[in-house]
Structure 1
Amino acid sequence: MTHSAINQSLADFIQASPTPFHATEQLAQRLVAAGYEHLDERTDWALKEGGRYLVTRNGSSLIAFSLGRPDQLHTGLRLVGAHTDSPCLKVKPQPELEQQGLWQLGVEVYGGALLAPWFDRDLSLAGRLTFRTGDGHLGSRLIDFKRPIATIPSLAIHLNRGANDGVAINAQTDLPPLLAHCHEPKRQLRDLLKQQLLDEHPDCQAEQVLDYELSFYDTQAPATLGLKGDFFSSARLDNLLSCHAGLTALLESDGAQPCVLVCTDHEEIGSSSACGADGPFLEDVLSRLLPDNAERIRALQHSVMVSADNAHAVHPNFADRHDGNHGPKLNAGPVIKINSNQRYATNSETAAFFRHLCDQAEVPVQSFVVRSDMGCGSTIGPITASRLGVRTVDIGVPTFAMHSIRELAGSQDAAYLIKVLTHYFNSAQLI
């Protein structure tokens, strides 16, 4: 695939994935279309030699695996990990607000969001609804309004003369999005959701929406931009770009080696959940692939995990926020992320292995180390390494404006990442 074709595929994937539920659904649909079989954790599995399978948990996390040639599992797994969630504004359980004749919804900040860019955007709403049907059964469906239905207006500078001096944003009082004028009887969100549910799923027979998990998102479509198309701009690049790259590489691999793609939820809030990287999801799946404990440990000690999560590119206006020798650049290839305090799981062996892969795939590669006087973020890499004992390298595509409502990457870097991950999935030898 060309860079432009890859970026269009990425744009389509992100546009269809406003929430982790939608991202997982998109991943599953593309895998099933490629011949992967959808397994259910609640049933017995009858895995076939050379089979290709996927399993989801909570509708927001997914693990896909290709078993490769017969009797290859003991030689080691090629694992790629990413996460489906992004910082956002989530709707509270009882969110209705009526202020100054306007109808708003109370929101809670999810993850370490950069809040200022959320103002004055055309927002929509998407997520999962759980409802009761007319015959008393429970059901769940995904909804997506798609069209702009809300905004968070800024306060005019005339009323806030210090706005450009850096004003703190109060998440409780400053962020409730504006949706409509009030009217009588009072608006109820669940009534609006029920109508949207029936519009999108007319066969669901919903009688009452009982609960929901909903997120606001920016409706602006992804775009390739710049005088020469050098940049790719979108919401949720962290970390749907890595999910898409892992998926594409898995589908383009030759299938000869045992490969695993892990896309889990809740990374932005620590991964501690039933479907997060710090939960048992991956271990549960691996224990069913390799039921014998000793055999599973041997296989994992032959395995490598590539934890793919975006990296900080050196910002031309804020270059002093980087270590002078470690400033990754856009369109210069994936970044190996290193931290001596194990905020990243990379060590010299796994870094060398990834450099070797990039050299073989003819992909440029970079390094990132945070300034010694600044705190360092983390990823699913150290969590997975500590839970499984698997050798891990943390890497990612360099980006600007991480955790903003709109992030920026190089237009060539998604293709670079897919190329090296495909080579990795096809590699007959690991470390």
Structure 2
Amino acid sequence: DAKKRLQKVGYEQVVEREDWKLEAGKRYFLTRNHSTIVAFAIGGLWHTWFDRDLTVAGRVMIREEKGGSVSYSHRLVRIEEPIMCVPTLAIHLDSIVDRNYFVIACLVSRGVNDGFKVNTQSHLLPVLATSVKVELNKEFAENGLVEKTTNKSRHHAFLLQMIANKLGCQPDQICDFELQACDTQPSVVAGAAKEFIFSGRLDNLCMLFCSL
């Protein structure tokens, strides 16, 4: 069965009711009600996030006041247009590349993540706006936005304004959110004979069933 197959290739079972002690680079799985199995690995292929047109999507908690009473609701949101990017340095400017080799040879010889030498704390910060937008942020602060929202120390007021515009609410109504960065590149049917599907995550979506 799927459980034995996962254990055979190095996956370790964890139990939802227990505290987990996960380690980077290892793989785990859990089962639920003898009908569901969830397998995952700690880590990521970080280079796939670089130089893409990114947006955000997820769930937002909104505070609403009606008739003197306060209520909270969850709203789903996805900003359609690309709003940020995680840029990388051009490969020919990367000092870790040995200049005695062709660029192609360097890329092939290095590991999947070694080519970028990614520092996940500093290199994966998305660029949302230039310093010009700082003036807009000051304007938000002058209008009391930054003081009203509980997210002022964690999130840029400009991002909060974009989310609010999408949801049709005020930024100070946003209490919290769970947003993920996602690619805006759509899936397409392409090729001269329209026989190919160009899309991200095809390996994940198509091969998951086959692997289990």
TM-score w.r.t. the length of structure 1 is: 0.28
Partner of 1:149: 83
User: Given the alignment of the two structures, is residue 172 of structure 1 paired with residue 68 of structure 2, yes or no?
Assistant: no
- CA drift of 1:132 comes to 1.9
In 1, are the aligned partners of 2:47 and 2:116 still within 8 Å (CA)? no
The number of equivalent residue pairs is 142
- CA drift of 1:180 comes to 0.6
Partner of 2:149: none
Q: 1:133 is paired with a residue of what secondary structure? A: strand
Deviations 1:353-374 (A, max 9, x none): xxxxxxxxxxxxxxxxxxxxxx
Q: 1:125 is paired with a residue of what secondary structure? A: strand
Alignment gaps of 5+ in structure 2: 1-34, 98-105, 147-151
In 2, are the aligned partners of 1:131 and 1:206 still within 8 Å (CA)? no
- CA drift of 1:210 comes to 1.8
In 1, are the aligned partners of 2:164 and 2:174 still within 8 Å (CA)? no
User: Given the alignment of the two structures, is residue 232 of structure 1 paired with residue 163 of structure 2, yes or no?
Assistant: no
CA separation of 1:126 and 1:192: change in aligned 2, threshold 3 A: farther
Alignment gaps of 5+ in structure 1: 1-79, 88-109, 242-309, 313-334, 338-343, 345-431
In 2, are the aligned partners of 1:143 and 1:196 still within 8 Å (CA)? no
Equivalent of residue 56 in structure 2, options 93, 111, 125: 125
User: Given the alignment of the two structures, is residue 140 of structure 1 paired with residue 89 of structure 2, yes or no?
Assistant: no
Separation (CA, whole Å) in 1 of partners of 2:194 and 2:200: 18
Partner of 1:255: none
- CA drift of 1:150 comes to 0.5
RMSD: 3.5
Amino acid at match of 2:161: Q
Q: Which runs of 4+ in 1 moved over 4 A?
A: 80-83
Separation (CA, whole Å) in 2 of partners of 1:336 and 1:191: 44
- CA drift of 1:194 comes to 4.4
Partner of 1:269: none
In 2, are the aligned partners of 1:128 and 1:143 still within 8 Å (CA)? yes
- CA drift of 1:232 comes to 1.2
In 2, are the aligned partners of 1:133 and 1:207 still within 8 Å (CA)? no
- CA drift of 1:111 comes to 6.2
Deviations 1:375-405 (A, max 9, x none): xxxxxxxxxxxxxxxxxxxxxxxxxxxxxxx
Separation (CA, whole Å) in 2 of partners of 1:214 and 1:169: 22
1:195-274 matches, cutoff 5 A:
195-202=161-168, 207-237=172-202, 241=205
1:281-296 matches, cutoff 5 A:
none
Separation (CA, whole Å) in 2 of partners of 1:213 and 1:205: 18
Separation (CA, whole Å) in 2 of partners of 1:168 and 1:115: 10
Deviations 1:58-106 (A, max 9, x none): xxxxxxxxxxxxxxxxxxxxxx9799xxx9xxxxxxxxxxxxxxxxxxx
Partner of 1:52: none
CA separation of 1:176 and 1:194: change in aligned 2, threshold 3 A: closer
- CA drift of 1:196 comes to 3.4
In 2, are the aligned partners of 1:129 and 1:212 still within 8 Å (CA)? yes
- CA drift of 1:133 comes to 2.2
Partner of 1:311: 207
Amino acid at match of 1:142: L
Amino acid at match of 1:200: K
Q: 1:210 is paired with a residue of what secondary structure? A: strand
